[in-house]
Amino acid sequence: MRVEKTKENLQRCLCMSCPSYTMGCKLKAMPENMVKMFEDFDKLDHFECMFCAFDKSHCIEQDRGCICAKCQNYKDYNLNHEDYCIKTGGI
Ligand code: SF4
Ligand code: SF4
């Protein structure tokens, strides 16, 4: 099941703590993410976090240790892939 694009689910996402989400990518994504937080979240096509609900990242390219399996969304939505930031739908 696709993870719903809600702010509650975003709060549970661990991507921001993941080693794959480099500081460079976080800094690059921050301004756009901040603006999008005030938009209708479930209407967004892309967001630089919670990649299982959106498409892949526009910045992250390398798996440095995906922690999706520890995420509550992963458990609640019965996800079975990882690296959603690298490939849309996960690997
Ligand atoms: S499963 Fe992974 S991509 Fe999805 S919300 Fe959790 S940490 Fe983020
Ligand atoms: S999808 Fe996995 S590898 Fe990518 S940032 Fe999120 S936790 Fe890290």
Report the distance separating Cα 78 and Cα 68, nearest Å: 11
Ligand nearest to the Cα of 16, by number: 2
- Nearest Cα neighbor of 10 from 69, 65, 82, 73 is 73
d(CA 20, CA 39): 26
Annotated domain spans of the chain: 7-76
Q: Atom of ligand 2 at shortest distance to CA of 18?
A: 8
Residue 66 CB–ligand 1 contact under 6 Å: no
* Tens digit of each residue's pLDDT, the chain (91 residues): 789 999 999 999 999 999 999 999 999 999 999 999 999 999 999 999 999 999 999 999 999 999 999 999 999 999 999 999 999 999 9
Backbone angles phi, psi at 45, to 5 degrees: -85, -35
* Dihedral angle over CA of 7, 13, 19, 25, nearest 10: -20
Dist. CA 53–CA 89, nearest whole Å: 8
* Residue to probe by mutation, ligand 2, list 22, 28, 49, 67, most atoms within 8 Å of CB: 67
57 lines ligand 1 (CB under 6 A): no
